[in-house]
Amino acid sequence: MRMRSKLLALGVFLGAFLVLVVGLGTPSGIRNFQGTLLGVLTPFLRSGSSVERRFTAFREGLKSLEQLEGESRGLRVLNRELSATNQTLRGMEAENNRLRRALGYKERAVFRLMPAQIIGRDISTWFNQVIIDRGSEDGLRRDMPVLTEEGLVGKTTAVSERSSIVILISDENCKVAASVESSREQGISRGERASSGAAPMLSLFFLSKQAGLKSGQKVYTSGVGGVFPSGIMLGAVQDFRVRELDGVAALIPAVDLATLQDVFVVVSEPK
């Protein structure tokens, strides 16, 4: 059946072709043939033109997508650069504010203070000692108090010409005579060994069992012993407990000993 249809279509096409060939002998025949041929080809020409337009539009679309991707990549890079710049500016602002506070404290201090920078710190003794960039050439000697505008840091222990080692109050070998605000309680503060990664703590010993200290009470140096002047902030009470012979308070240091950068050394008696 299909074969007969194909043969019939072929016969019709050959017949039409012979008629067209015969008709080509006259000008009107040629024009008729051209018209007929144009009519046959027009759908194909239109289809081809449409395909070309679609291809052109698709190619333009790809080009636009590539441009958008390029612009997007550029914007992402610019955004990262702006974020980094913003972070840097924030860091500079924080540094400036910190230095302003330190300068203001130095001007208000009742002692003559010498500014110093921490130039050395060992991870194994992070909360025990630091090295500062001041030494005997600057008038430093052993057992000079070291502090910041927030409070007590420690004292010098070994002094060379241009640098000194400072033992921190968080070291268990650094003992400080202290008194508690709004009370007559006095005791001896020393550092407590902290577990790895834990913030350092202080313990205030030899308090009376009836002290009943409250969380948040401030603790200052008492001046007893002659190394640390009185009135320097040491820390705040975290909790209080009673032992067999005395009371003991856990203290949070006033100074963030983990992030020390700049300190002051007390180099004279009160003004």
Locate the domains of the chain by residue range: 1-108, 113-266
Cα distance between residue 204 and residue 201, in whole Å: 10
- Estimate the share of the chain in helix, then strand, then coil, as percent rounded to the nearest 5: 40, 25, 30
Ordered per-residue pLDDT tens for the chain, 271 residues: 555 554 445 544 544 554 455 454 555 555 555 555 545 545 544 555 555 566 566 666 665 666 777 777 777 766 766 665 555 555 455 555 555 565 565 566 567 888 999 999 998 889 999 999 999 999 999 999 999 989 999 999 999 999 999 999 999 999 999 999 989 999 999 998 766 567 889 999 999 999 989 999 999 999 898 899 888 999 999 999 999 889 999 999 999 999 999 999 998 765 5
Reference 241, options 251, 249, 252, 229; nearest CA is 249
**Fold classification of 113-266 (topology level):** Thrombin, subunit H (2.40.10)
| Helix runs in the chain, H state only | 2-23, 27-108
Reference 142, options 150, 221, 134; nearest CA is 134
Give whole-number Cα distances, 169 to 19, 58, 254, in Å.
116, 73, 11
What are 28's two structure tokens?
């009107």
